A and B are shown apart, each in its own frame.
Chain A
């Protein structure tokens, strides 16, 4: 067991997989010699050399296209898109190429690759470098979508993503890079499509993802201490495949559902989950499901403005308390 940062977990996860399988290669802007814009890939170039860890031009389409061509023909590339906002300039690969080639070719074409990308707000980078765009990817059949919240999950889910035969979009949260957590020694491999109950509780279910997970956990502790409300916190971890069994099971026990989403309001991942719960567990519910989201606006840059719009522990506490008491 060792305590390492979420940032260092990225490099450790990639190194674990590159050491295991020489088909795993890694490319992106500034990822090799410079160790990454967020310093999450420091040391990989030195460890695995210039053939396996490659700096690219500022060419997001070339990065993802090259990853796909390599994946189709036998490699297992990991591609980095520096900020997830930039997915918009190479969305063709994410929306049209990776996820459709197997289907269109009647099963001939494979695409085992991972796109890692820095997602989310908290760094005051403004509207084009702060978004949470996992929902952009969740809506596309053929992709898998993962967003870890802890160093241990970074390693385990990254390993699972690399070993998975399908294209996986792996959202690292920029504001989580400095956080630390306990990580066991040796190889760590997790399972895609599994949510985790991080705090069992009986009064309501709070679903959260990535940066919203520590906030939901903090809120749950305060709900208990200050209001006697015992909330269950579920880290969704994987949007596709979606662990509906764990989610529906939790709602079946607690009878109330809250989602905490960093996405702007419309079509956030919570909307899909709420619709599933409404369809399949309506009579388990003792009250309306509630979505706690960022309002439907672009993200502002200033500290106090950004802080106002992202869901906070305060807002979660307040929303849950009001809903349960009404």
Chain B
């Protein structure tokens, strides 16, 4: 299959260099937290407590964690509907995210946005966008503001492999390159656009990487299941952006363990594919990494337990939280806080 042409590397490969103990533990904690929170979201969906749609990043945690850990306060994330992990990774509480998924008043947007539109500007999460490709130009605009004002923040825009076939992707890449904007485009190539293998609908084997040259950018395709690799690549791209040297386009090879959305049993996958990728589960890789660096099982277990406590407490808080009051239906359509379109 064309999409598999770029082979993921084998499990447990140590990163080229040592990112340091503190960062390593932070990356581990972040990935565990994303995994636990999203697994919980799935369980709550099975209990009919998570409503609407939801798109999980189970299996793709290394991308979200790796980029978020490389970001500084003030850097901006632009996410897709598959944005829970990126939102959590910037430090938004599990309760706020689960609350939104459960349509409770304690949710991040009090039920007005839903799973696909997680936004927490205080954390630099500038929205999750559900129209494929829409947020690439928007990230350009935020980067333009930074360039114009001399601000040092970077705008980071996450999207899938399927998104490389929509016009807005190409408009944004050219625009960012011509204007030399401090924006980093991150393609999470999980091998599928919804239900169709990306290779079936794309003219080149690397959907993002092979397009980079058209915009004067180097081809960067990395192992998106190794958080250290992701973290290092993110640092490089951010340094380039902050130095005024323009955008980067990074393709991260990864795989989603669950279906596209909660409605999808993912029957279209060839036999054995999921199992092969589970061998390369980012969390499995990272546990082995920690072991290689001498981190004890006990330290990992403590982190696991700590994360579990946050997720359990969030679950209980969300179950107990009230539904949003109906008067918020009519707030914040316009900047005056209301919805009046006439006098």
Contacts and interface: CB of A to CB of B under 8 A. Distances in A.
Given A108-B120, A244-B343, A66 B144 contact: yes
B121 interface: yes
B151 to A, nearest CB: 9
Nearest to B121: A108
A61 B167 contact: yes
Contacts of A45: none
B297 to A, nearest CB: 41
Interface stretch (B13-21, B35-43, B129-137, B299-307): B129-137
B175 A101 contact: no
Nearest to A246: B343
B331 interface: yes
Contact of A65 (B126, B140, B331, B341): B140
Contact of A96 (B131, B172, B178): B131
Contacts of B141: 65-73, 77
Contacts of B112: 103-106
Contacts of B133: 61
What is the interface residue range for chain B against chain A? 35 or more
Interface string B139-181: 1111111101100000100000000000110011011001100
A62 B169 CA distance: 9
B280 to A, nearest CB: 35
A109 B127 contact: yes
B117 A105 contact: yes
A107 interface: yes
Contacts of A77: 141
A63 B175 CA distance: 9
Contacts of B114: 104
A325 interface: no
B117 A64 contact: no
A144 to B, nearest CB: 8
B110 interface: yes
Given A62-B168, A102-B335, A242 B342 contact: yes
Contacts of B175: 56-57, 59, 62, 66
A66 B138 contact: yes
Nearest to A69: B141
A104 to B, nearest CB: 4
Contacts of A108: 109, 119-121
Interface string B318-343: 00000000001001111111011111
Contact of A107 (B171, B331, B342): B331
A243 interface: yes
B134 A65 contact: yes
A245 B167 CA distance: 43
Nearest to A68: B138
B131 A102 contact: no
A142 interface: yes
A144 B340 CA distance: 11
A245 to B, nearest CB: 5
Judged by DSSP, the binding face of A is: mixed
A73 B144 CA distance: 10
Interface residues of A, number: 52
Q: Which of B109, B134, B138, B149 has the most CB of A within 10 A?
A: B138
A178 interface: no
A110 B138 CA distance: 13
A240 B341 contact: yes
A122 interface: no
Interface in A53-101: 54, 56-57, 59, 61-75, 77, 92-93, 96-97, 101
Nearest to B149: A74
B143 A69 contact: yes
B8 interface: no
A97 B168 contact: no
A252 interface: no
Nearest to B329: A103
Interface in A9-39: 25
B208 to A, nearest CB: 17
Interface string B111-126: 0111001011100001
B100 to A, nearest CB: 10
Contacts of B136: 65
A93 B134 CA distance: 8
A241 interface: yes
A141 B112 CA distance: 15
Nearest to A108: B121
A166 interface: yes
A57 B340 contact: no
A225 interface: no
Contacts of A101: 119, 127
A61 B126 CA distance: 18
A236 to B, nearest CB: 12
Contacts of A65: 134-138, 140-141, 168, 171-172
A72 B142 contact: yes
A68 B143 CA distance: 11
B64 interface: no
Nearest to B120: A108
B144 A142 contact: no
Nearest to B324: A106
Contacts of A144: 334
B295 to A, nearest CB: 38
A73 B119 contact: no
B234 interface: no
B171 to A, nearest CB: 4
Given A96-B134, A106-B112, A193 B339 contact: no
B105 to A, nearest CB: 11
A92 B171 CA distance: 14
8 contacts: A65-B140, A65-B168, A68-B138, A103-B112, A106-B110, A142-B334, A243-B343, A276-B342
Considering the complex of A and B, which 4 residue pairs feature the smallest CB-CB distances, nearest first?
Answer: A65-B137, A69-B141, A165-B335, A66-B141
Interface of B: 76, 108-110, 112-114, 117, 119-121, 126-127, 129, 131, 133-146, 148-149, 155, 167-168, 171-172, 174-175, 178-179, 328, 331-337, 339-343
